[in-house]
Structure 1
Amino acid sequence: MSWMIHFVRINGLLFLACAAIAPAPVLADRPPITTGSLFEEMIDLADLSQFPDPAYRTIQFSSYDHRSRLPGGPEWFANADGFGGEPIPNFIKVLREPDAKGIGEYLLAECEGPGAIVRLWTAAISGTVRVTIDGAETPAFEGGADEFFRRPYDRFPQAEKLQMDRFRNTVYQRDASYAPIPFAQSLRVTWTGNVGEIHFYHLQVRLYQAGTQVVSFSPKDLETYRETIDKVTAAMADPDKNLAPNSMQSVSFSEKIAPSEKKTVAKFDGAMAVKQLSIQVTAENLDLALRQTVISITFDEYPWAQVQSPVGDFFGAAPGVNPFESLPFSVKPDGTMICRFVMPFEKSCRIELQNRGQQSVHAKSHVIVLPMEWTDRSMHFRARWRADHNLTASNREVQDLPFLLAQGKGVYVGSTSYLMNPCPVPTPGGNWWGEGDEKVFVDADFEPSIFGTGSEDYYNYSWSSPDIFAYPYCGQPRNDGPGNHGFVTNFRWHILDGIPFQSGIRFYMELFSHERVPGLSYARIGYHYARPGVMDDHQTLTADDLRIPALPDWQPAARGAASNSVFYAAEEIQTENKGTRLLDAKMWAGGKLLVWNPTQENNRKTFNILVSEAGKKQIHVAMAMTDKSGKVAFELDGKPLPPDDNAESIDLNVADRTLLRSFALKPQDLNAGDHTLTILWKGAPASVAEPQVGIDFIWVQKR
């Protein structure tokens, strides 16, 4: 197996050109790669644990700032990556210079040899794309660029026979698409549009070893493989039901673990694989227990565990219990955490829990194993957590944070980021932590094989959104708010888009924030499989690593998107305190939340707001979202004041979480002087016996 990999300089840019060495023998002993087989890979976690055969290399074409050519050089952290008007185009090559209207044609991606598109993403992209497979005269896709990067199958009539409602929440995930597009000989993608307009994009490709048989994509594949596609999307939508282990061999554990004590949860001998691992931890301080109870999984008597992580962080939920459902990991509302990554071993496996905290914890676990032959393709699963506390994030002193630096052979299969972001700006525009790009060097790369356009883009969302969401391969199960303040957790699993490495991998994510933020904490895991002999840069976990960083006291700051604002603590401007109380926690501005207990629909809570200068103003209300709340509406000076999106009300009820969100109301022309803002209670779900409304602060912004 071999590739011819070289760099070609085009228009002053280094372009990664990858072509299979020719002539090459056809790999006739292997079944061909098809649209159907790629869909099957999307849920085949057992096959993911074996080094790919036929082998492939994963690369990414993206709108990263193409001035970032020299690693560590002057433009290494340049950030003009798709907003429009970049100093140089964010493409491989200019095919046709812009006309009088600014419309030009650009080469977005080009590959020779067998391969497949395995992931697409965009935050927004104007213009059109033309996708040519195998040099055909008729394009495989020609149309709107935004449609292609988000929903490439939707235009094909054959897609209508699929379970498309489910498809759009499994294969299409947030701002990304994992709809595979294989090609036998070549791929060429061009973009026609105005480079002065927004054009963010990622296009991720597998490049197979020479001689690999690939059947190129055709819209008819959606009909040919309809049964397979529907089976795959069903498994992705409900892995508990449709990816249930078929092995009956299992071990259960339920014991108390004292401080400093280590206990063996399960031990196995022989060539086998862990198929599913579930753990539930209980303790007086559960959040702390999930951080200070360390899970270690040691395969084949290695001196250091291949898995070493706080148990909550390992399952992608930290800090605390933040329920979500994804393909390889799930966290249930009762705190049960499930891992479905398959973990092969040749001779032995030992799973241990160690209590590194000061309180006793109780742990229950269930481990399901199945026989699996150890071969020259088998790999150990590895997940080694690391944390950096008291970092200073910055938009000037940007730094590359390592997720994994490893030498040897394996496949990278996932990332998690766990942050404590103390920035006091109450809006994403200002307190955003993730402007930084992922940079993945594979094997002998001089420039990254994968160069991204922002941390949220890597995690398949965009525009520094604080939304809570989860899909089979990506999610944001925690984001306290307002904006991106407080504790934030992101995950992404590389299943179809795994990143194989033959001799090593260096995976970095830039730490690049909107403003200078001292005291930021950033923990992370680079999940991967590794053949025996892989060495990485992991260091054993210290007591300081395993603490949950405390949120500092804070007050909202009038910077970023919150500029030109005046803030009022809700408890200080309420017109009366009947039916209210104060809740103390560092999550709230000033450490206090005003909690109002309405008793019936249309109960009213009023606040006096002083406007010092007449003009157009926008009122924002920062409120708690919990499972004890419901819907509210607003009035200003006795007249209805709708939210900025013209909705009739705002629903503050959310399950299994406590969030702080700032809601913008419709801008108004206001006179100088006192104004009365009224919150009207509009009811809660029947399950809420004693409803409450949390109001943190109210702010008035000049427009």
Structure 2
Amino acid sequence: MTLFNTADAWWGEGDEKVYVDGEAFPSHFGTGTEDYIGYAWCRPEIFDHFLIAQPDGSGNFHPGMSVNIRHRMLDAIPFTSQIKFDMELWHWATTRMNYALVSYWYMKPGGKCLVEPNPASAKEPVALKRENMFPPVPDLAGVLQGEHLRVVSLSNGSWEIQNSSSWGWSNNQQLWWMDGVTNGQLKAEFEIAKAGVYTITGNFTKAIDYGNFKLMINDQPAPIHFKGYHSGKPVSVTTELVNLGQFQLQEGINTLQVTITGKQPAAKPRFMVGIDYLKIRND
């Protein structure tokens, strides 16, 4: 089993069900995908054991590839006429994934495989990076999710795609920059189909450990100075929608630069920045 994960979250929940000889309810009902392939708790380590292996686990909790192998020999399942195997993929995040399964077996002479060749599926492009599944472009309503931005450089700290259904984020995700410093910079790219003057608004996260920042789009400064501090009352995390102004955008790649300018006196010094989404309109 080979898959490409697209979120900073675990993909491998879900049961396996094996139906033997046309039975209505599966006689083999497993406790989860991760248990079936030989481990649990999202472990990313490479391992190689008798009948199970994980040559690549880098995509188990972050965007990237995961490859798992499971052989059934000592625990073979006898059947007379047919066997049906369902493997449920239940992701922690709201996302899309690219995956492929390869199955092989030994059959006595006279047996028949009911699975027909499917060359069309075999020719489909393989996702090698997250933007193959989620390109950094606005949707039909002009909304560009922050987590879809293409981060090209980061001066300090770290970034990831944060998943939570608790804070009202669009798509339950945000682009999350952690542990920056004053004058630290994050640069990202997005793509536009048609050049022109666009009005851009942004929805940004506020919490007790978020910093202040300013923005530039294609080296054009936004006339705002966003203050990310929020006291934590009545909720610990909130967002604020801000009109960033009008900008000349070009067909193809455009740039967004975030520069941390400091923090409010009461803010904890983690200088975090959260981009929920940008809305980009020229109507």
TM score, norm. by length of structure 1: 0.22
* Higher gyration radius (CA): 1
Structure (1 or 2) with the greater helix fraction: 1
Structure number with the bigger relative contact order (C-alpha 8 A, sep ≥ 6) is: 2
TM score, norm. by length of structure 2: 0.49
